[in-house]
């Protein structure tokens, strides 16, 4: 049972436009969410996170929005750049204990076209 779902396997966006990557989760115990970016032949790198006490977290061109009632989060990249082309993974875990493994989605491949 996929607890973290990224329903779009791929997304293409023009350079300079907004990229919106979506993620849904089913486990209501999840209260801490992260996005990772992965380039080919490299491991995933941490991008941005959000706690359930917030509905938005911003870091430069990257903003993550959380809608707890809908169990939905999204990553916005504005403006999109060719270097953003990568696979993006959404991840979640119940943050209370601090030692529960992260649960990852299957990833969305973003292609930013120059």
Partner 1 sequence: KAGVTQTPRYLIKTRGQQVTLSCSPISGHRSVSWYQQTPGQGLQFLFEYFSETQRNKGNFPGRFSGRQFSNSRSEMNVSTLELGDSALYLCASSLPTGTVNSPLHFGNGTRLTVT
Indicate whether 99 belongs to the interface with partner 1 (CB under 8 A): yes
Indicate whether 60 belongs to the interface with partner 1 (CB under 8 A): no
What's the CA angle centered on 92, arms 90 and 94, to 5 degrees? Answer: 175
**3-state secondary structure (DSSP) of residue 83:** helix
Least distance in Å: CB of 15 to partner 1? 27
Among 53, 60, 83, 98, binds partner 1 (CB under 8 A): 98
Indicate whether 105 belongs to the interface with partner 1 (CB under 8 A): yes
Least distance in Å: CB of 63 to partner 1? 17
Contact 32, 25 (CB under 8 A): no
Contact 83, 93 (CB under 8 A): no
Q: Of residues 21-50, which lie at the interface with partner 1 (CB under 8 A)?
A: 32, 34, 36, 41-46, 49
Beta strand residue intervals within the chain, DSSP E? 4-5, 10-14, 19-25, 32-38, 45-51, 56-59, 62-67, 72-77, 86-93, 103-104, 108-113
Indicate whether 19 belongs to the interface with partner 1 (CB under 8 A): no
What residue ranges bind partner 1 (CB under 8 A)? 6, 32, 34, 36, 41-46, 49, 89, 91, 93, 95, 97-107
């Amino acid at each position: 049972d996929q607890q973290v779902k990224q329903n779009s396997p791929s997304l293409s966006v023009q350079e300079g436009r907004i990229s919106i990557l979506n993620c849904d989760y089913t486990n209501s115990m999840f209260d801490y969410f992260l996005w990772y970016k992965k380039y080919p032949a490299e491991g995933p790198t941490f991008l941005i996170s959000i706690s359930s006490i917030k509905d938005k977290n911003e870091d430069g061109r990257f903003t993550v929005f959380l809608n707890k009632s809908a169990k939905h989060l999204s990553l916005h990249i504005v403006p999109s750049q060719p270097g953003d082309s990568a696979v993006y993974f959404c991840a979640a875990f119940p943050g209370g204990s601090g030692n529960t493994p992260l649960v990852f989605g299957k990833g969305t491949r973003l292609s930013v076209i120059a």
